[in-house]
Amino acid sequence: MQSKLRIADRTNDIFPILGFVAAMASFAMPLNAWLVAFILMGAVVAAVHHAEVIAHRVGEPFGTLILALAVTVIEVGLILTLMQAEPEKAQTLARDTVFAAVMVILNLLMGLCLLSGAIRHHEQRFQRTGIGAALATLTVLTVVTLVLPNFTSSAPGSFYSPVQLGFVAAVSLILYATFALVQTVRHRDYFLPDGDADGDGEPDAHAAPPTVQRTAISGALLLASLVAVVLLAKNLSPVMGALLSDWGAPPAVLGVLIAALILAPEGLAAVRAAKADRLQTSLNLALGSALATIGLTIPAVAILSIMTDLPISLGLDAKSTVLLFLSLIVSVQTLANGRTTVLQGVIHLMLFAIYLFTTFVP
């Protein structure tokens, strides 16, 4: 077991360096697409691993916040890179990716956490106050960024005008920053398991925290991973576009692929926490990622749009709007009483199946 852990640690140390070298080499010569994809996935997993090392050092709830921020930085980098690489497809990429991330988190990730935890522990509990605050913030962010553009009149269709886009970007940043302040400073205890006011009652906390040296190394490797992911994604984007065109897949599928790639490592961490009867940590990870996805991605995309005069379509179509509202309503009901069972997990997984099916068969 220890040897496997050492091998995993070494792999996570190697991939950031390998990814950075491959990214630099891609400027000088073409690289095999499958090799780039393999290194890219390894760099994503390594980035989340090193974010977890830093998170273990700082403790909860700062740990889940760092994980969410690391994942969101990767996502923002991918979106901005692909938008600049393929301007003709850039109008809907941010919307499709953000919407896909929200649906993956609220339905697939939450469903897997609730189901796997309930199968092992029958019924699990969490603090309603903190989770309710996160869900309320998420509801406002999703509606303002993904639904409201369809009902404004300053710009046609599903677009915000530049002034509106700047205002919505500011609102998103303020809401996310306020939530982060509440989660980490003002009401930190709302996001900790019952009886864990110091943030050290999680089972993982009994393991010795990483040393300052190990944390510093992880910080450097995390930065290398993020740079590698962004540059390798730019190298891979033409191949991904051609592959989806050959399959005849709808454009929204690219957003689903990006969201799945980015959220996979963090999703595994959330499911492991639920299996270990740490549902509070799972929900902190899931909802924190959803909030960071919108609260940081939309402002970044808005700045790029305004600076480059590149219009972006944020408003969802009618089908997606219905699925978004259904997911939010069901999530409110699921998390209303602070207890979850197998039924809630299955409901959320079926919602994701509906979303995925209607994405491929609109």
> Which residues face 159 on adjacent strands?
313
DSSP 3-state assignment of 249? coil
pLDDT grade, residue 142 (50/70/90)?
Answer: very high
Domain count along the chain: 1
> Which residues face 124 on adjacent strands?
340
Under DSSP, the state recorded for 210 is P
Domain with 47 in it: 2-360
Cβ pair 46, 15 in contact under 8 A: yes
Q: Among 93-107, 169-183, 196-210, 321-335, where is mean pLDDT lowest?
A: 196-210
Residue 362 structure tokens: 């609109």
Q: Which of 225, 186, 196, 198 is nearest to 54 (CA)?
A: 225
> Which residues face 313 on adjacent strands?
159
End-to-end CA distance of the chain: give it in Å, rounded.
Answer: 46
Convert 290-332 into a string of H (helix), E (strand) and C (coil): HHHHHHHHHHHHHHHHHHHCCCCECCCCHHHHHHHHHHHHHHH
CATH of the domain at 159: 1.20.1420.30
**pLDDT tens-place string over residues 88-106:** 667 888 898 899 989 999 9
Residue 193 structure tokens: 């398991």
Percent with pLDDT over 90 in the chain: 25
pLDDT grade, residue 8 (50/70/90)?
Answer: low
